Structure 1
């Protein structure tokens, strides 16, 4: 069953990566189109009437024919599709570029599938998914500065809060975290709420992205 109300299109020159991600998304009930390697190829299938509701792309290495960046051209030819940038480049400039062209999210290509899946679901629900420390800039029409992207790096997390973020990064539920750490579920919620406040995250996906970007390893 298609949960999104529309199909997902993957655009990436790394077709092996796209094929693997497509298979995982299909296992979660999403309708996924055949992966495409270039913006030009996207234009061809859109001209044939295909209308994906979400496009997931890594702009690195995409063809640069015509004016503008591959990302801006992709936005031009598919203005109605939601757009998730899945990139190895998490620099201030890369995130700012995604925000500027109107992408709905920017997530590390090295993120776990659980993080990517949560990002997809949030974007399908109309939310934006960016690193937590730039979320306050969304909707303000301004690109984030390098300084704003570094906010939160000195978050004073307790060892327990760090453990819980490591579990979140692995995709564990609160109940599973409670069992793993031998504490109550209400205690998990309390520590996670405190951690969310310290890192300026508003949901589990933002918290997982922050944890990944700040060197917290997933807890098995």
Structure 2
């Protein structure tokens, strides 16, 4: 069966062009439309400025150094807040997983994984699920990460209000407070108030911990 994300292509951004070319060929065999791989974040952002609207970006930030422009994943998320972001990297360290979570990436899988595992991750991310190794949250001291396809019942979510759950879903999707306010048609100060209340209820001290909690409790990221 041919699996299509939508009418928009997948964009590969990786310094390892051989890996990207091989991955692109395998994804295309499965009926997915993939743009020619790009070697840098700058090249990807320049392409997007020409009007390309990718359905998903698959990248390995391990090959991109931190510079005056900031973290490469954060740059992608800030410039493309509504695009699904999947990290496929050989770096599975606590620091790397933490950066992916903080940037709102929808998944982080190993370059050593089988293609079937990668394809499954692509499909799950497109469906709105978060795909991280179970060790991700444990390394950050938060317990196992859930990649359940279903949202947990509201009663099991620390007595969060529907609005607070919405905002956590947006945070998990990598949206800034300003983007959340636009999406939910509320003021940015209201977003901050609800998010502060939610963090108090779930005992989180930052956005990364809030994102981990949301993943553990089956809250799907809001695209």
Q: Give the TM-score, by structure 2 length.
A: 0.59
Q: Distance in 2 between matches of 1:65 and 1:131?
A: 28
2:4 aligns with 3
Tell me how many residue pairs correspond in the alignment. 145
2:111 aligns with 109
Q: Distance in 1 between matches of 2:67 and 2:35?
A: 23
How big is the shift at 1:109?
0.9
Superposed structure 1 runs of 4+ greater than 6 Å apart:
none
Which SS does the other structure have where 1:86 is aligned? strand
Distance change in 2, residues 1:64/1:92 (3 Å):
closer
Q: CA RMSD in A?
A: 2.4
Contact map agreement 1:40 1:63 (CA 8 A) in 2 = no
Which SS does the other structure have where 1:84 is aligned? strand
Q: Which structure 1 residue ranges, 5 or more long, are not aligned?
A: 138-143, 152-200, 202-220
1:28 aligns with 30
Write out per-residue CA displacement over residues 143-185 of structure 1, whole angstroms, 9 at most, x where no aligned residue.
x64445799xxxxxxxxxxxxxxxxxxxxxxxxxxxxxxxxxx
Q: Distance in 2 between matches of 1:32 and 1:57?
A: 13
- The structure with the largest alpha-carbon Rg is 1
Contact map agreement 1:11 1:35 (CA 8 A) in 2 = yes
Q: Distance in 2 between matches of 1:149 and 1:11?
A: 31
Q: Distance in 1 between matches of 2:15 and 2:72?
A: 12
1:47 aligns with 49
Contact map agreement 1:105 1:119 (CA 8 A) in 2 = yes
Q: Distance in 1 between matches of 2:89 and 2:143?
A: 16
Q: Distance in 2 between matches of 1:13 and 1:79?
A: 22
2:148 aligns with none
2:78 aligns with 76
Q: Distance in 2 between matches of 1:77 and 1:62?
A: 17
